[in-house]
Amino acid sequence: MSAILDHLPEFWQGLTVTLQLTAASFLGAAVVGLVITAMRVSPVGVLRGIGTAYVETFQNLPLLVLLVLAVFGLPEVGIKADLLVTAIVVIALYEAAYIAEALRSGVNAVSTGQGEAARALGLTFGQSLRHVILPQALRTVVQPLGNIFIALTMNTSLAAAVGVVDLTAAANRVNLMEAQPIPIFVGAGLAYALIAACAGFVTGRLERRLVVVR
């Protein structure tokens, strides 16, 4: 326990970076995921194909491989960016594939009559998706999105492997100085568990408030 208390500033700094990674990556993933969802349900075949290719590609590549390629490979071709920003972008693009699939399942759960009614009112595809379909779809996928948020939080720990000083990296640095892996990494694990528990609580409350009565 003393190893943790003596290094609270390092743990706090690492936790702050982890929270920044999580929040920014999820926001970016949500935006990209919405776009990919719109492409996957589009009446235009080319857009559906691009959306499907995106999801299939990112769901079948390890996140760590993408992080290593972005951090160490892109500078080799002249593309350089801040390490934290690079990690955020890569994690966001990766998780967007999973958010897109969750949203698409929500769209598929909406009655086809809703889309037909929107078209009968003269709404375009984009308007019906924005004002009719997606609001209903989001209500049905609150819990899946919460699960993706939790998985994203855990995946941010992989950023430590490419040099981002997040909670995992901070715990590893403290362990190298103190050589007390059990209390140090148990403490870091409890911090991740607390974030996941808070996310689960919030999504549970949202799901009950937004439940769709069928």
Question: Once rounded to an integer, what is the mean pLDDT over residues 71-82?
Answer: 86
What is the spatial distance between Cα 100 and Cα 18, in angstroms, rounded to a whole number?
A: 23
Closest of 188, 101, 187, 110 to residue 147, by C-alpha: 101
Pick from 94, 75, 197: nearest CA to 152: 94
The least confident of 78-82, 133-137, 176-180 is: 133-137
The residues spanned by each domain of the chain are 19-165
Q: Which CATH homologous superfamily contains domain 19-165?
A: MetI-like (1.10.3720.10)
CA-CA distance, 125 to 140, in Å (whole number)?
21
Q: What are 3-62's pLDDT values in tens digits?
A: 666 667 888 899 999 999 999 999 999 999 999 998 888 888 899 899 999 999 999 999
Quote the pLDDT of residue 214.
45
> Which candidate, 153, 165, 164, places its Cα nearest to that of 203?
153
Question: Does the pTM exceed 0.75?
Answer: yes
Percent of the chain exceeding pLDDT 70 equals 86
